[in-house]
Amino acid sequence: MSRPDRSRTSAHQLRPFFSSQNLLNRADGSAQFDFGGSSVMCSVVGPAEVRIRDEKLDRATIEVVARPLVGIPSIKEKAREQNIRETLEPLILSGLHPRTGIQIVVQTMKDDGCILSTAFNATIMALMDAGIPLKSILGSVTCMVDEKTNQIWLDPTTEELAQAKSAHVFVFDNKSSITSASAGAQGKDADVDMDQDTVGAAILFSDSTGLFTEEQYFECAQICFKAAQAIHGFIRTAIAKKLEKEYQQTHA
């Protein structure tokens, strides 16, 4: 029943995650997010000047640039750029900054699976570091279904992804987690609680590859939703700590 990644005992365990903000001095905001052996650096510039042909009269233009660790950007990176941009566009309050541009650069630093999820988490932290107004924050987690055992493994490594029947990337926002938490508090028994969890969970983005059944998909969604709560909590603590530090520095 054990998984190839021997550092973890459970199938539903995330790798240790870690983040640091405000690393780069030229960008307006930056963050690095690590999921075990995977790491992504993200920088944000904006709201700034935008090329005339990209200018939008009523809102900010959001540009995402994804860069691979090895080689030149290919279709994979183009797809990643589109995924991130389309997920973030409704989240960023771009109407507040019309006729400007917000440029997001996502650079893979280490690759050990789940790069898209790592990139999502790094991006949202970099956006907050840059002070871009947001509707809500997001948290992303990847899981996979093992080919042999049909087990669901959370946050797989590259080695584990090689034997995946299907892989699923989910992004949840933190608004839905608040509603589901309050729903959970009102719920009388555990079963109802579980159901309301899925009802409350608004999926911002979902990307699945491979063969899977409907039940498998919903099971994956539920497992990832629970794991995303840990990510949300982590982001909240990281931001709180950073603000506390900044406050102490400015008021010292």
Partner 1 sequence: MKEIEPSTNEREFVLAALKDGARIDGRNSYDFRTLRLSFGSDYGAVEVQLGNTRVLAKVSCEVIRPFTDKPTEGFLVFNTEMSPMASSTFEVGRQTDEEVLVSRLIEKAMKRSRALDTEGLCIVAGEKVWSIRVDIHFLDHDGNLVDAACIAAITALMHFRRPDVTVVGEDVTIHTLEQRNPVPLSIHHIPICVTFAFFHHGEHMIVDPTYLEEQIKQGDMTITLNVHKEVCALSKAGGLPMKMDQILQSTKIAVVKVTEITAQIQAALEADAKKRQTSRK
Binding site for partner 1 (CB under 8 A): 23-27, 37, 41, 43, 45, 48-49, 65, 67, 69-72, 101, 103, 105, 107, 109-110
* CB nearer partner 1, residue 80 or residue 168: 80
Nearest residue (CB) to partner 1, 37 versus 133 = 37
CB of 126 to partner 1, least distance (A): 10
Look-up of token digits 């690759």 = 111
Q: State which residue, 32 or 196, has the beta carbon closest to partner 1.
A: 32
Among 116, 122, 123, CA closest to 89: 123
Helix (H) or strand (E) holding 165: strand 164-173
The residue whose two tokens read 């640039």 is 65
Which residue, 48 or 96, has its beta carbon nearer to partner 1? Answer: 48
Sequence letter at residue 192: V
In angstroms, give the least distance from the CB of 4 to partner 1.
Answer: 12
Q: What is the three-class DSSP state of 89?
A: coil
Q: How far is the CB of 47 from partner 1 (least distance, A)?
A: 11
Nearer residue to partner 1 within complex by CB, 105 or 143: 105
User: How far is 136 from 90, CA to CA, in rounded Å?
Assistant: 10
Instruction: Please report, as a single letter, which amino acid is at residue 196.
Output: Q
Tell the smallest beta-carbon distance from residue 203 to partner 1 (Å).
29
d(CA 27, CA 130): 8
Which residues share a beta bridge with 107? 41, 67
Report which residue type is found at 247.
Y
User: Nearest approach, Cβ of 107 to partner 1 (angstroms)?
Assistant: 6
